[in-house]
Structure 1
Amino acid sequence: MLYGYDSDIAFAQQRLQLASMENEMNGSANGQSLRYPFFVVELKGDGTTGAGSLWVATNQCLGASAACVEIAERLNHQLRSCRDPSVRLIDTASFSIAMNGTEARLYISWKQNERDYYMQKIDSFLLQRPEHYIEFRKYIRNIIDWGKGSRLQEIRESLDILLEESRRRASDAAKSRRPPSHESAASSSKRPKS
């Protein structure tokens, strides 16, 4: 499972900016227009041996989380090009869960610099233990609340900033163009006498 934002609902006010950014950077995570994902869940059932399925899920979480972080980093790349020094970058961290029928492992992923991605295990939960299940549920709800709340607001504000920046650049470009000279306007409007 992948948690992110439906662009028609979450970014209704920012549609214009998202459309203008489509060629430069694609914030879409899948074919259903899911934008800026922040949470991945990989569930693997135990086979006949049960060995290794949680490791497979963890490896898939690592790859999917890195992709989520990279999508958010593309937005930050655009924000870095803004002239306004007060522009704040968004939090690009993503969360993931690798689980089988009995255990869940919660991870956080982030990008430290231009090349290094990190993944850290937050906690492990034995799902058959009620206290573990309740704690696991609290973590999940907090992550989803963060995604629906402050993270979504950061992304909306960033898209608004980028829209204003592109308008400012277009205005500056229009102002820097030379007005048409009087000679060229006069010569094109004169008609030869017959």
Structure 2
Amino acid sequence: MERVKDPDYHDDLQLNYVFFRHPQEQPPNTVAAHVARISSKMPRLPKLSPEIVAKAIYELDTLGLGCNEGDIRKFCNTYLFPKGAGGRRLLSSENTNIARHLVPNNPVVRSVVSRPRPELLYGYPTTDFAWDQSITLSNLHPQINNYAKAATKLFLPFFTVEFKAAAGTGGSLWVAANQCAGASAACIKAVNQVNTRLGDAGCIRRIHNVCYSLAIDNNLAQLFKKDKEGNLSFYIQRVDCFLLLNPEQFSRLHQWAMAILHWGQGERLRQIRFALDYIQSEQQMAE
């Protein structure tokens, strides 16, 4: 049995400093403000038409008669994450292992975090960065080249999605959430290295080290955020939950997804470019 399916897997996560924060617990103020700012942009983004929502719900009812994860993937790629979602500045990968060095690892314990293989992962291609920025990006870590590369050609990810099928194959959103916990921690580690280098360069500004993940089947979807507290601990917390057969909730899920991708290709990418320029500038001054 895969460890993410084990009833005691949360113990493995905690031993590696990955924790589930209770959904009703108040997160740090900076994290709460970030989530509020993302959600505030939702009303200004394009919405699905009532006709498309009705068609999506009809297909969900059909999936409820029997489906597998491939069917859920196809549904989500049609209605929530169509090809090109997020614009040309984003790169997505499917079913690709995240680089092992980004997976949280406490060397003094035997329990490990299962290597994430998200169904869908959003980040950036090197073409989003100028040549000098790409050089800095590839040399963020003194021992590990391309430390921030999570998957083939994909750097600094910020949004992961896990699909399950609740009709016919026994898919579990609890397992999907466990998978989200590992994958989103890897996203946090990648950006943390950029922030570490910013601090070493004497910059007081930091990239907002928050990322998002989605666990979804043909009935429900759970949206999570992930943040880092202190030097070690990662916290994942549910932000929202959606009953997909409810038209209003399905539409809200779509708006959330678009808002996260909009943030990723806008504000977050600008912060990363600033950080790389700053690090490079300080390196040149020191030489």
Residue 49 of structure 1, CA deviation: 6.7
Taking CA–CA contacts closer than 8 Å with sequence separation of 6 or more, which of the two structures ends up with the larger relative contact order? 2
Indicate yes or no: 2:124 matched with 1:5. Answer: yes
Indicate yes or no: 2:160 matched with 1:40. Answer: yes
SS of 2:201's equivalent?
coil
Query: Which of 200, 208, 211 is the equivalent residue of 1:81?
Result: 200
Indicate yes or no: 2:225 matched with 1:108. Answer: yes
Displacement over 6 Å in runs of 4+? none
SS of 1:46's equivalent?
coil
Residue 47 of structure 1, CA deviation: 5.8
The residue identity in structure 1 corresponding to 2:155 is: R
Question: Could you say if the C-alpha distance between residues 122 and 91 of structure 1 is closer, same or farther in structure 2, counting changes exceeding 3 Å?
Answer: same
The residue identity in structure 1 corresponding to 2:160 is: V
Could you tell me how far apart the structure 1 residues matched to 2:141 and 2:193 are? 11
Indicate yes or no: 2:270 matched with 1:153. Answer: yes
Which residue of structure 2 lines up, in the alignment, with residue 127 of structure 1? 244
Checking the alignment, whether the CA contact within 8 Å between 2:191 and 2:209 is kept in structure 1 is: yes
- Counting matched residue pairs gives 165
Residue 158 of structure 1, CA deviation: 0.2
Residue 12 of structure 1, CA deviation: 2.9
Could you tell me how far apart the structure 2 residues matched to 1:115 and 1:63 are? 14
Could you tell me how far apart the structure 2 residues matched to 1:100 and 1:37 are? 22
The residue identity in structure 1 corresponding to 2:161 is: V
Q: Deviations along 1:33-68, whole A, 9 cap, x unmatched?
A: 201000000001236473x61111000001101110
Could you tell me how far apart the structure 1 residues matched to 2:138 and 2:163 are? 34
* TM norm structure 2: 0.55
Kindly report which structure 2 residues correspond to 1:47-66, keeping only aligned pairs within 5 A, or say none. Answer: 48=168, 50=170, 53-66=172-185
SS of 2:215's equivalent?
strand
Which residue of structure 2 lines up, in the alignment, with residue 139 of structure 1? 256
* TM norm structure 1: 0.80
Query: Which of 150, 153, 158 is the equivalent residue of 1:29?
Result: 150
Could you tell me how far apart the structure 2 residues matched to 1:116 and 1:70 are? 11
Q: Kindly, what percent of the aligned residue pairs are identical?
A: 37
Could you tell me how far apart the structure 2 residues matched to 1:22 and 1:39 are? 22
Structure number with bigger Rg: 1
Could you tell me how far apart the structure 2 residues matched to 1:152 and 1:67 are? 18
Q: Structure 2: which 5+ runs fail to align? A: 1-119
Could you tell me how far apart the structure 1 residues matched to 2:169 and 2:136 are? 50
Q: Structure 1: which 5+ runs fail to align? A: 171-194
Checking the alignment, whether the CA contact within 8 Å between 2:215 and 2:223 is kept in structure 1 is: yes
